[in-house]
A = this chain, B = another copy of it.
Amino acid sequence: MTQLPSAAPTIATEPGQTEPAFRLVAVAIEARILSGDIQPGDTLPSETNLAETLGVNRSTVREAIRALEQNGFVRRETGRKKLFAAVPQSRDISRRLKTAMVLDHVTFEELWEAMFALEPAAARSAAQRRTDDDLAALDANLAQMRLALHDSDVLTDLDIAFHHLVALATGNRAIQAARLPISELFYPPFLAVISRLNAAERLLFAHEKIVEAIRDQDSRQAQDWMEKHIQDFQRGYELANLDMGTPAALPRAGHDKQ
């Protein structure tokens, strides 16, 4: 029933300027999703249908859809035609934050400092709230890592996964959202250094200590070990004689794992 006002400006947006129709269409569709009129996962009406319903041209609807796609309110499975409603996920937004930080020439030092604040807090919280499933996932990660101590690439992925699992165990989505983009920029290059220094065992040891503390629900120990662990990254960087002042770059081809 959400109809676009054809003549009367019922949806008077703050500015005196008349909002372009494609934006009104976008917010109209967005509103339908947010109100639950269209549930996430539902397929949206066809463009023609939307155009008729909203009283605008199909081109206008298409422009609105392009915007909604970027905002994460609708998504289309590759190769499929049907459009599905969705709700923006902080995971999707993380990608943009990463590029924004890279374009802003954020340095490794800045990333490190942020991780030094977030990761120990995450470990502490994880120790308090972890479920048995969280623990099992962490154990599995440790097991895999023991088998991959030689393989630098796999090690990197496993390390990122490890810290992600710790964050998941917190159950805290604010912390998860805050650390995700930083983490994805931070770990790859640092881990490259670590493996060059043959410090994989040291890495694994720290992870084991952290998991142990999380298992025992010893938040103090979890925090402390994570703190040491993050400090180790910095130490490794200095040992390798690299400059923490260099801007971060986007890591190699992203893995799309569903």
Find out whether the CB atom of A172 lies under 8 angstroms from the CB atom of B114: yes
Binds B, one of A103-111, A147-155, A201-209: A103-111
Q: Which residues in A have some Cβ–Cβ distance to B below 8 Å? A: 15, 17, 22, 34, 59, 62-64, 66-67, 69-72, 78-79, 87-90, 92-93, 96-97, 99-101, 103-104, 106, 110-111, 113-114, 116-118, 120-122, 125, 170-175, 177-179, 181-182
- Residues of B contacting A114 in the complex (Cβ-Cβ under 8 angstroms): 121, 172, 174-175, 178
Question: Bound complex: CA of A106 vs CA of B173, how far in Å?
Answer: 7
Residue of B nearest to A90 (CB): B100
- Residues of B contacting A66 in the complex (Cβ-Cβ under 8 angstroms): 22, 63-64, 66-67, 70
Residue of B nearest to A118 (CB): B117
- Residues of B contacting A113 in the complex (Cβ-Cβ under 8 angstroms): 121, 125, 170, 172, 174-175
State whether A175 and B117 are in contact (beta carbons under 8 Å apart), knowing that A17-B79, A87-B103, A90-B97 are contacts in the complex: yes
- Residues of B contacting A103 in the complex (Cβ-Cβ under 8 angstroms): 34, 87-88
Question: Bound complex: CA of A70 vs CA of B59, how far in Å?
Answer: 18
Determine how close the nearest CB of chain B comes to the CB of A76; give it in whole angstroms: 10
For A62, A90, A122, A182, the residue with the greatest tally of chain B CB atoms inside 10 Å of its CB is A90
Question: Bound complex: CA of A116 vs CA of B63, how far in Å?
Answer: 42
Determine how close the nearest CB of chain B comes to the CB of A94; give it in whole angstroms: 9
Question: Bound complex: CA of A79 vs CA of B122, how far in Å?
Answer: 46
Residue of B nearest to A94 (CB): B97
Determine how close the nearest CB of chain B comes to the CB of A121; give it in whole angstroms: 3
Question: Bound complex: CA of A89 vs CA of B99, how far in Å?
Answer: 9
Find out whether the CB atom of A106 lies under 8 angstroms from the CB atom of B174: yes
- Residues of B contacting A110 in the complex (Cβ-Cβ under 8 angstroms): 171-175
Find out whether the CB atom of B93 lies under 8 angstroms from the CB atom of A177: no
Question: Bound complex: CA of A179 vs CA of B97, how far in Å?
Answer: 12
Contact among B71, B78, B87, B178 with A178 in the assembled complex (CB-CB below 8 Å): B178
State whether A90 and B118 are in contact (beta carbons under 8 Å apart), knowing that A110-B173, A113-B172, A113-B174 are contacts in the complex: no
Q: A17-B78, A114-B121, A117-B118 are in contact. List 8 more A-B contacts (CB 8 A).
A: A15-B78, A64-B66, A71-B96, A88-B103, A93-B97, A104-B173, A110-B173, A113-B121
- Residues of B contacting A99 in the complex (Cβ-Cβ under 8 angstroms): 88
**7 residue pairs from A and B, CB less than 8 Å apart:** A17-B79, A87-B100, A88-B100, A93-B96, A104-B173, A113-B125, A117-B175
Find out whether the CB atom of B174 lies under 8 angstroms from the CB atom of A101: yes
- Residues of B contacting A116 in the complex (Cβ-Cβ under 8 angstroms): 121
